[in-house]
Chain A
């Protein structure tokens, strides 16, 4: 289908923006061919709006109700639980956790003075061919994973758009 028809269907359905609408309005005035397509589509649209329902048989409702009466009565799955019960249970657990935590602090012998450990890096030893190869390998692997996820996303998007 050409894009002119798509534009015009959006216009007829009222799905285009104010700017698009103004553009189409202007085109309809100056372009007789464009207007002819519009009138063609509008005629189809008017026909479709007059579409009527099909009528089922007169015994349709009775037949359905006969079948329905043989079924078990439907029951709402949504059970009503008083929120206060949920809050009470949540409060109990929070109070218990806080109590245990406070008790553990009280009975423990905590010393907050802390000395940072000293780490000696020997960069010459760490940077060697093996670590460089490992680093490059991990980078390549991550790049491939990223590329794979990027391509998959594109494919899923295309599928979602349809055809």
Chain B
């Protein structure tokens, strides 16, 4: 709550002419916006471009921020639309990678890339790898729920979905994530043998 008050105070100051204060807002939210962008872009360069674009768009539209919702929710809406536009422009394949063939390709590409350090991989690396294998929407919902401190209603607002739809999608995303994790961990056991 304290942070939200500060966000609003900063926005008021920026709108009053203290534009340098925007750097504070950027610093505060950049890690999350970048993480969310990574869920869509899958590589750091593109994610950084999306995240920067998102902050510039947010700055341009700061005067229209109604202050009835959290600044973070509003910012994540911009991140989501920016990422979707970026994906459309890049014509990335956003189709489901649920089928085993794709899973196999991705899992193998990871192990081929760094086969000697498989044993050193932490749970965190596996989790990130599993999230990267999810659909962008599923990955974004999981990130918003666990790291964005967003309620189902706020996630719905950010992703333009009904809260009930978000709830169902969150359940399914976690179910898929569990499957991916099981698959990856099984792969690790094979490597160790």
* A residues whose Cβ falls under 8 Å from a Cβ of B: 1, 5-6, 9, 15, 40-41, 44-45, 47-57, 60-61, 63-65, 67-69, 71-77, 160-163
Contact = CB atoms under 8 A, between A and B. Distances in A.
- The 6 A-B pairs with the shortest beta carbon distances in the complex, nearest first, are A162-B165, A74-B62, A53-B31, A56-B34, A54-B35, A74-B63
B146 interface: yes
A54 B143 CA distance: 11
Contacts of B161: 162
Contacts of B56: 64, 67-68, 71
B174 A161 contact: no
Interface stretch (B14-22, B74-82, B92-100): B14-22
- Residue picked from A41, A48, A56, most chain B C-beta under 10 Å: A56
A68 B59 contact: yes
B77 to A, nearest CB: 17
Interface string B131-158: 1000000000011001100000000000
Contacts of B26: 60-61, 64-65
Given A40-B178, A50-B124, A74-B60, A5 B171 contact: yes
B140 to A, nearest CB: 13
* Secondary structure dominating the interface of B: helix
Contact of B59 (A54, A56, A63, A74): A74
A87 B182 CA distance: 67
A57 B44 CA distance: 9
B177 A44 contact: yes
Interface stretch (B1-9, B47-55, B83-91, B108-116): B47-55
A77 B65 CA distance: 9
A15 to B, nearest CB: 7
Nearest to A57: B48
Contacts of A67: 52, 56
B117 interface: no
A67 to B, nearest CB: 5
B34 A55 contact: yes
Nearest to A73: B19
A15 B2 CA distance: 26
Given A55-B34, A68-B56, A162-B161, A60 B51 contact: yes
Nearest to B59: A68
Nearest to A68: B59
B162 interface: yes
A63 B26 CA distance: 11
Contact of A60 (B34, B60, B172, B178): B34
B181 interface: yes
B178 A54 contact: no
Contacts of A76: 15, 63
Contacts of A15: 167
Contacts of B177: 44, 48
A77 B147 CA distance: 32
Given A51-B143, A56-B31, A44 B63 contact: no
B61 interface: yes
Given A48-B127, A74-B14, A162-B165, 12 more contacts: A5-B171, A47-B181, A51-B131, A53-B147, A56-B48, A60-B34, A64-B23, A65-B22, A71-B56, A71-B59, A74-B62, A161-B164
